[in-house]
Structure 1
Amino acid sequence: MKIYPTTIHGVLLVEHEPARDERGYFVRTFCAREMAAYGISTYLAQASLSFNAKRGTLRGLHFQSHPAMEDKLVRCARGAIFDVIVDIRPGSPSFGSWVGYELSDTNHRQLYAPAGTAHGFQALTDDAVVSYQISQFYEADKSAGIRFDDPAIGIAWPLPPTAMSPRDLKLPLLAQVDPARLMPFEDKVNQ
């Protein structure tokens, strides 16, 4: 397991080297000891899967409001996605910045999104399956998000969106989010 920092503080790219033989491969996708050394939350409250039938499907950008913000470890179990994380922590030097990486069932990458970031992705293949490990329980009243096409953020999505939820299409711009719903940068314990 190799873990690399990104341009957003606390956001990490995790790469794996599968052990291959004639049967196929084996890859360890989570190790609490190794990940804790990099400040990655090792508490798992929930694990979820997202199935995306059509290439171009776009989900996000989602987060849970403060104080229920969550850490997420995301990987693509089938197909490929363009995974995006946006820093929404007021006071952060990279506030409003984004990073994006292709995650696929062949490159075995994962992306770690710490609390205080918004997460979204676009399916690059039909039948993409995305796996999430999440540090907080889902709280419907804390569910929030920002627009995928916020011009102040300027995410360069690789494809035109082909499918989105009505809810995601109505999300506010980052500048319209009530600051009380965001976690200030200095509140994060494992910076």
Structure 2
Amino acid sequence: MIFTPLALNGAYRIDLERRGDHRGSFARLFCQEEFRQHGLTDVWSQCNVSHSVQKGTLRGMHFQRPPKADAKLVKCMAGSVFDVIVDLRRSSETYGRWVSVTLTSEGGEMIYVPQGFAHGFQTLTENAQLLYFHSDSYSPEHEGGFHHADVEVGITWPLEIASLSDRDKTLPPLSKVEPVS
């Protein structure tokens, strides 16, 4: 695996190192030792799959509050997505800033999302599917989110929004969100 630090401290793009021959290829998706060497979460409590039918679907911006705050490892298994993370750590010099990584099923890249970050994505293809590893189990009473179009955060989504949940439509701006750290 190739670990590339992103502009937000603790976040990484992780690319698979494929080994191939005439039969196809093989690559490691996770190695506890390599994650540990980079100071990343190396134990996963829950794994989820997200499937979005329509191109332009937007999901986010979501997070879990302490004590259930979790790190995530996100990989696209079908199609492609514009994946976005936002630093919600108020003590961080990059608080409120965002970065994006385009995740594709063909490329195999992943994004490591540290605790204290919000996560969201927009599908760039129909039938996009994401695989999420979580360092803690989901807890409805600790979930949070902020509005995907918050002008102060300024995320530039690549497509017109084709589908958005009722919950995501009504999320507050980041300035109205209770601190996560």
Query: For 1:79 and 1:20, how far apart are their aligned partners in 2?
Result: 22
Task: Tell me which residue corresponds to 2:35.
Answer: 35
The DSSP-based 3-state class of the residue aligned with 1:82 is: strand
What is the deviation of 1:36?
Answer: 1.0
Q: 1:25 deviation in Å?
A: 2.1
Give distance in 2, aligned partners of 1:23 and 1:56: 35
Distance across 2 between alignment mates of 1:162 and 1:37: 40
The aligned counterpart of 1:177 is 177
TM-score (normalizing by structure 2): 0.97
The equivalent of 1:61 in structure 2 is: 61
Distance 2:54 2:22 in 1: 32
| Residues 64-104 of structure 1: CA deviation (Å, up to 9, x unaligned) | 11221100000101110011000000110000000001010
> What's 2:141 paired with?
141
**5+ residue gaps in structure 2?**
none
Instruction: Map 1:123-162; keep pairs closer than 5 Å.
Output: 123-162=123-162
Whole-Å separation in 2 of the counterparts to 1:41 and 1:12 = 12
Off by >4 Å, runs of 4+ in structure 1: none
- Report the Cα offset of residue 105 of structure 1: 0.9
Counterpart secondary structure, 1:25: strand
C-alpha separation in 2, matches of 1:77 and 1:20: 19
State the shift of 1:13 in Å. 0.7
Aligned residues: 181
The TM-score normalised by the length of structure 1 is: 0.92
